[in-house]
Amino acid sequence: MIKKQAEIRRSGRGTFSRTSSGKRAARWTHVRYKGSIALKAGDTDAVSAKIKSSDRGDEARLLSSFLGWLDRHFGKHLSSVSIQYQ
């Protein structure tokens, strides 16, 4: 996912940008919406994404935008998406 996002940004497109990264984690922000998405690699092929925003409307828009991005770029490879509200 990180490689795909970087490829899109290098081509001058994309709404997500990486603001920080670690060995198995990254934080993304969106061009238009407040907040961030914290990505963390799981034990298998799973990835967890925590979406946080001080604006509840932007939090929902970040979620929608992220799910759309996943579907566009990895839809054929996804087996499931689970959403937990906390």
pLDDT digits (tens, 9 = 90+) for 22-69: 878 889 999 999 999 999 988 788 889 999 999 888 999 999 999 999
Query: Domain residue spans in the chain?
Result: 2-77
The whole-number pLDDT of residue 60 equals: 93
Interval 61-79: pLDDT, tens:
999 999 999 999 989 988 8
Q: Provide the H-helix boundaries in 1-86.
A: 2-10, 56-74
pLDDT tens-digit readout, 10-22: 887 888 888 887 8
At residue 10, the 3 state secondary structure works out as: helix
**So what's the pLDDT on residue 14?**
81
* DSSP SS3 for 67: helix
| Whole-angstrom distance, CA of residue 58 vs CA of residue 61 | 5
pTM: 0.82
* Residue 14, SS3 per DSSP: coil
Q: Give the pLDDT score at 46.
A: 86
**Sign of the four-CA dihedral 36, 14, 74, 64:** positive
As a residue count, the chain comes to: 86
